[in-house]
C-alpha cells in the first residue's frame, strides 16, 4: 500500500473532513486495511484568495512547496492537496517534488467531460479560484459565469460561515445553489472544500446536481493508494 501525504490546513475543518471521508469510504475489516497517511495541517499558510486578489503580498505556494518536500522526505509515495484554490500553483508544486500529486480540479473535470448528459456547468468556489481559472483550465463544457452578487453569496458561505465554525442550513445552501440551476446549469461543482463540509452536514451526497470535488479526491486517493 502506498503512503498518502496530505497538504492540508486550508482550512482545518475541510482537512479533518477529508480524513474522515477517507476512513469511511475505505473498504476495511481491520486497522491494517486502512490507508497510511501523513497529514500536514499547516493552518497558517497565507490565504490563497487574498493573494490572488492582490489583498496580500504573501504567496502561499512557497509554503506548500516546503510542505510537499517535507512529506516526500517523510516517505510519502504521492500527495493530495485538499484546497481547490491552491491548485493555481499546482505546476510549481509538482516540479518541486519527484512524487505525483493528485490534481483535484483535473480529476473533477475529467469525470464531467466524459458525461454527455452534462452541457452547462456551474462552479461554486472562492473568487480566487474563479480568478485563477483553476477549473476552466481542464473543463471542456460550457461554464456558467455567475455575477459578482452570486459569487459573493458563495464567499459568504465559505468565509463567514464554515471557516468560522458556523453551520449552514440546507435552506441557506439551496438558496445559493438554485441561483446556478436557475441559469441552466446541469450540475454545479463544489469547487471549495468548505462547501463539501456543508454537503456532509446536510446529507446532500445523493443530489445528482452536485459534483463534490472533495468526494472525487477521496475516491481517487483510495484507488491510487491501494493500486
Catalytic residues: 83, 192
From residue 63, alpha-carbon distances to 45, 82, 176 in Å are 7, 15, 33
User: What cell does 57 get?
Assistant: 503580498
Q: Which of 94, 48, 49, 44 is nearest to 68 (CA)?
A: 94
Hey, what's the cell of 135? Answer: 477549473
The separation between CA 165 and the C-alpha centre of its own chain, rounded to angstroms, equals: 18
Three-class secondary structure of residue 220 per DSSP: helix
Contacts of 196 by beta carbon, 8 Å cutoff, 6+ apart: 14, 17, 190, 212, 213, 214, 215
Amino acid at each position: 500500500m502506498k503512503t498518502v501525504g496530505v497538504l492540508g490546513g486550508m482550512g482545518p475543518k475541510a482537512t479533518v473532513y477529508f480524513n474522515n471521508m477517507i476512513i469511511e469510504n475505505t473498504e476495511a475489516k481491520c486497522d491494517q486495511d486502512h490507508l497510511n497517511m501523513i497529514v500536514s495541517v499547516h493552518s497558517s499558510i497565507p490565504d490563497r484568495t487574498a493573494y490572488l486578489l492582490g489583498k496580500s503580498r504573501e504567496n502561499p505556494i512557497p509554503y506548500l512547496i516546503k510542505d510537499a518536500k517535507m512529506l516526500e522526505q517523510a516517505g510519502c509515495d504521492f500527495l493530495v492537496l485538499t484546497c481547490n484554490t491552491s491548485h493555481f500553483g499546482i505546476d510549481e508544486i509538482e516540479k518541486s517534488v519527484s512524487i505525483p500529486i493528485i490534481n483535484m480540479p483535473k480529476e473533477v473535470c475529467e469525470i464531467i467531460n466524459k458525461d454527455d448528459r452534462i452541457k452547462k456547468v456551474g462552479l461554486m468556489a472562492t473568487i480566487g479560484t474563479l480568478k485563477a481559472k483553476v477549473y476552466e483550465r481542464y473543463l471542456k463544457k460550457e461554464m456558467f459565469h455567475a455575477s459578482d452578487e452570486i459569487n459573493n453569496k458563495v464567499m459568504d458561505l465559505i468565509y463567514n460561515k464554515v471557516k468560522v465554525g458556523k453551520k449552514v442550513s440546507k435552506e441557506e445552501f439551496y438558496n445559493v445553489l438554485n441561483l446556478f440551476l436557475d441559469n441552466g446549469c446541469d450540475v454545479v461543482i463544489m469547487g471549495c472544500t468548505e462547501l463539501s463540509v456543508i454537503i456532509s452536514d446536510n446529507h446532500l451526497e445523493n443530489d445528482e446536481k452536485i459534483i463534490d470535488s472533495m468526494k472525487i479526491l477521496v475516491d481517487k486517493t483510495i484507488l491510487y493508494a491501494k493500486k
